[in-house]
Amino acid sequence: MSLYLPILMYHQIGAPAADHKPDLYVPAERLREHLECLSDLGFHGIGPDLLAAALSGAKEKLPSRPVLVTFDDASAPAFAPVIEILAAGGFPAVAYFVAGDEGTLPGRGELSAYVQAGITIGSHCLTHRPLAGLSDEAVRAELVESRFRLEAAAGGPVEHLAYPFGSYGRREVLMARDAGYRTAVSTRRGNRHRPSERLCLRRVPIRPDTDCRRLTRYLGAAWHWEHAIKERLGFERRNQRRAHP
């Protein structure tokens, strides 16, 4: 049985830098619109710990229409205004930091303030490299060392992961489990999750042109199954090519 719980995938909030991909930057006003839209539709924000508990069969009750807001490539200089928007909207969130990027990683006091404001600190690995192309040793370092550094800075556990570039496979899922992560998010599209998918969770991608009408469609069952079917058909085609080279 699947759990209906949309996980929204943002990257940066604000105006795009000249050397960055503009489709990864959502205007601050758009984020405010999204939070208002979610509230109007009856959604309630939760943190990843509650999601992990729900997928593991714990008896903790989820609110009606739960939603999880996530931010990849979180950057200390730009994230403070995001916290204010989230707090005003009444939504917690997860911010995934690249632990080895000292230019974007907040200091210990700053990360502690994030946590107090309802932000869960997550790992976006150590160097933001696609894990599927790395050796076992390198993947282990990305997963374990990033946790160590972020936990030292945050003063608390870091148990939630975002795969850089959505790059993962069965090896990475098993290694994330062994490294102690309770959840891991991917770039697979969808808004429903099976308990077996807690380390390869689907998300709803958010772009600058994602208005409330489009967001509402992304929250629906039809959008989820459209992408689940496409994913399944693609998997079957790949298997057929391997069987008949």
Averaged pLDDT for residues 116-125: 95
pLDDT tens-digit readout, 214-232 = 999 999 999 999 999 998 8
CA–CA distance, 44 with 38 (Å, rounded to integer): 8
What is the arithmetic mean of pLDDT over 136-157?
95
pLDDT at 169: 96
* DSSP strand pairing (192-193 vs 12-13): unpaired
Cα separation, 114 vs 117, whole angstroms: 5
For residue 235, what are the domain limits?
3-243
Residue 62's CATH number = 3.20.20.370
**Quick check: 239 pLDDT over 90?**
no
Burial class (CB in 10 A: 0-12, 13-18, 19+), 79: buried
The count of other CB atoms within 10 Å of the CB of residue 108 is: 11
Q: Which residue has the tokens 């975002």?
A: 162
pLDDT bin (cut points 50, 70, 90) of residue 235 is low
In the numeric block, the tokens 């079957």 are attached to: 236
In the structure, what pLDDT confidence band is assigned to residue 60 with cuts at 50, 70 and 90? confident
pTM flag (> 0.75): yes
75-102: average pLDDT: 92
Give me the number of domains the chain comprises: 1
129/60: higher pLDDT:
129
